[in-house]
Structure 1
Amino acid sequence: MGSSDLYFSCDVEADGPVPGPYSMLSFGFSVAGGFDGSVFTPRDPLEHTFYVELKPISASFVPEALAVSGLDRDVLLAEGAEPAEAMTAAARWVRERAARAKAFPVFAAYPLGFDWMWMYWYFVRFAEGGSPFGHSRALDMKTLYAARAGALVRDSVKGKMPSRLLPDRRHTHHALDDAVEQAELLQNLMMWDGRD
């Protein structure tokens, strides 16, 4: 490993509020760029991506949560990837890209709490070798914006951000689309000086 960070934007779609009683249905990763402590180097967020749809792990689900992604649980029960296979493949993919960049992998999401909770739990529960991000190598884009803008966290929403920070892509609730969209947001935030 080198002395820089490689940021992996991640988005999760799930059928409930917490892992275990409910299931993660899909997730996507997009490599957003690297940071050496002083310079952020963006990467094409479509160049390195990972996406998978998973077999549910429980019978419980919240219909409103399921409706957000539009994924079909019956199809996923029949055709979704086994969680152990999916999480092991994702962990290997993250580690390989970080090793090629001679960097430490850093998980990034907007907001971090929901996506990290699901991914960390699934990595620990199902992936060979556990989480490629350890237990704490994660960056919350919402907090990053709040710190740079001098804004309250509760006000650090996309609707209040300067328009030049916002990605051109739509937020579709397809995990890979949204991971790519958020990779662009992270790039903009990392290169922003905090001024309008």
Structure 2
Amino acid sequence: MSETYISTDVETDGPIPGPHSMLSLASAAYRSDGELLGTFTANLETLPGASPYPATAAWWLTEPDAWAACRRDLESPAVVMPRYVAWIKSLPGTPVFVALPAGFDFMFTYWYLMRFAGESPFRQSALDIQSYVMGASGRSFARSGKHCMPRRWFDNLPSHTHVALDDAIEQGVLFCRMLAEYRRWGDEEAA
């Protein structure tokens, strides 16, 4: 069965869900050949009783455009998350959650999915881009981050704006480029 890579980015007001809120959720769905199948984006109301983490609140002051973008057209998580599940289920193939770093974005997404939709189409799995580079290249984890990735993967890449949909698209393009390159390497070694 084919896989659909769901490049996902979240914007939050703190380091963990529950005490802090997910402010924005966005995903861009890609086929393995890099074709963009569709996007999903929503800005969420904050959780009752949650509050911003001081360091995160201070960081948001340095990103006023991104802050304004994630505070427009707010919706309840109870409305957004079931709609997100329906969108994922409408896509072809098996959904694969992709992020950089997946640990952070998946933690918030999974928590919100289970709390507000009662299910996760991703089950409990996420593909971390840095871990993928480490496994495919044989480098150490520390030498597999963005700062060590080949510059050609970043040619004409969409900008990283801290607006969730922009960043989900950017990282999806990046992932599809590395996926294509590593698959070529694998094909060459198998020949």
TM-score (norm 1): 0.83
Paired with 2:166 and 2:54, the residues of 1 have a C-alpha distance of 22
Aligned position for 2:167: 178
Aligned position for 1:36: none
Gaps of 5+ in 2: 187-191
Q: Is the 8 A contact 2:33 2:180 kept in 1?
A: no
Post-superposition CA distance 1:86-138 (Å, at most 9, x none): 001111001111xxx2x1111110111000000000000001x41111122x2
Shift of 1:80: 1.4
Q: Does 1:60 align with 2:51?
A: yes
User: 3-state SS of the aligned residue for 2:115?
Assistant: helix
Shift of 1:178: 0.2
Residues 158-167 or 5-14, more deviating: 158-167
User: 3-state SS of the aligned residue for 1:52?
Assistant: strand
Paired with 1:134 and 1:140, the residues of 2 have a C-alpha distance of 15
Aligned position for 1:87: 81
Paired with 1:150 and 1:165, the residues of 2 have a C-alpha distance of 18
Q: Does 1:18 align with 2:10?
A: no
Match of 1:143 among 127, 131, 139: 131
Richer in helix (by share): 2
Paired with 1:110 and 1:27, the residues of 2 have a C-alpha distance of 14
Aligned position for 2:3: 5
Q: Is the 8 A contact 1:32 1:186 kept in 2?
A: no
Shift of 1:23: 0.2
Gaps of 5+ in 1: 34-39
Once the two structures are superposed, the pairs formed by residues 27-176 of structure 1 within 5 Å of their partners are: 27-33=25-31, 40-44=32-36, 47-57=37-47, 58-66=49-57, 67=60, 70-71=66-67, 79-97=73-91, 101=92, 103-127=93-117, 129-136=118-125, 138-166=126-154, 168-176=157-165
User: 3-state SS of the aligned residue for 1:71?
Assistant: helix
Shift of 1:61: 0.5
Q: How many equivalent pairs are there? A: 177
Shift of 1:158: 1.1
CA RMSD of aligned residues (A): 2.2
User: 3-state SS of the aligned residue for 1:106?
Assistant: strand
User: 3-state SS of the aligned residue for 2:7?
Assistant: strand
Paired with 2:120 and 2:16, the residues of 1 have a C-alpha distance of 18
Shift of 1:50: 0.6
Give runs of ≥4 in structure 1 deviating > 6 Å.
none
Q: Is the 8 A contact 2:89 2:121 kept in 1?
A: yes
Paired with 2:160 and 2:167, the residues of 1 have a C-alpha distance of 6
Paired with 1:59 and 1:187, the residues of 2 have a C-alpha distance of 36
